[in-house]
């Protein structure tokens, strides 16, 4: 189960080079995908009653989960799989890239505190590079694809309009490659993947690829940032 994790570690170690983990923790390195300041969506979902759900995929779910766990209005952010079957919803199988699953994150949020459009703005701005379809940083394969799994027609409308808006504004050098798929089922990932960023803040992969996303969230979306993460379990950070 640690095969892909070891791969991520080796790739990251090569990228970091002579820099030490301690130095990176003090002065965060550039992320594999740079954050981009983008306009808010011109069309957003109507404020609804009760907790709502958004499911997105943007590379390794460790960093995606970590970003939304530091986002105000998010009730929970769970790492998991979407796009494939229940039988193939396991890390060992998904890592092969042939299951149809993407490493995804299910976000439960309070629409009175954060909108669906704001969640997408953070997704396109600091979570990942939406111009890369099946790659984010050192991770390559369909399981790392950029995707929005819309739960209803309104989410689909907002996502389609926002992608068109950002492409028209030429915010990125290349067109957005993010795919929109109707949400079927979301399967939570294994327990050891939950709260991974918080539990392993000094792991080289996390330091190089994911911690900069948290810093970017704090800088670009200061009004939406919370210092204490909303965790899945009673996680305690280990250094």
Active site members = 60
Dmax over Cα atoms in the chain, in whole Å?
51
Residue among 130, 187, 154, 199 nearest 48 (CA): 154
Please, where are the H alpha helices in the chain?
3-16, 21-26, 61-69, 91-94, 116-122, 153-168, 196-199, 204-205, 211-220
Residue 104 main-chain phi, psi, to 5 deg: -125, 170
Q: Let me know if 34 is exposed, middle or buried by CB neighbors in 10 A (0-12, 13-18, 19+).
A: exposed
Token pair for 172? 């990125």
What one-character-per-residue DSSP string does 199-219 give? H-TTSHHIIIIIHHHHHHHHH
Residue 119 CA to residue 200 CA, distance in Å, equals 25
Sign of CA dihedral 143, 145, 151, 153: negative
Q: How many CA atoms lie within 13 A of 201 on its CB side?
A: 15
Q: How far is residue 230's CA from residue 10's CA, in Å, rounded to a whole number?
A: 29
């Amino acid at each position: 189960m640690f095969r892909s994790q070891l791969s991520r570690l080796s790739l990251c170690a090569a990228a970091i080079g002579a820099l030490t983990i301690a130095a990176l923790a003090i002065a965060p390195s550039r992320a594999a995908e740079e954050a981009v300041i983008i306009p808010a969506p011109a069309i957003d979902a109507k404020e609804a009653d009760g907790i709502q759900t958004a499911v997105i995929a943007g590379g390794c779910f460790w960093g995606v989960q970590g970003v939304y766990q530091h986002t105000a209005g998010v009730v929970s952010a769970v790492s998991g799989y979407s796009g494939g079957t229940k039988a193939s919803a396991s890390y060992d199988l998904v890592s092969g890239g042939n299951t149809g699953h993407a490493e995804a994150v299910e976000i439960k949020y309070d629409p009175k505190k954060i909108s669906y459009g704001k969640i997408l703005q953070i997704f396109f701005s600091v979570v990942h590079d939406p111009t890369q379809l099946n790659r984010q940083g050192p991770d390559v394969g369909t399981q790392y694809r950029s995707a929005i799994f819309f739960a209803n027609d309104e989410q689909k409308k907002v996502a389609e309009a926002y992608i068109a808006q950002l492409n028209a504004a030429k915010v990125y050098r290349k067109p957005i490659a993010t795919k929109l798929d109707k949400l079927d089922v979301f399967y939570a990932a294994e327990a050891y993947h939950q709260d991974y960023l918080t539990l392993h803040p000094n792991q080289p992969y996390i330091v190089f690829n994911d911690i900069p996303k948290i810093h970017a969230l704090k800088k670009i979306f200061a009004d939406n940032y919370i210092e204490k993460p909303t965790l899945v379990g009673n996680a305690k950070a280990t250094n």
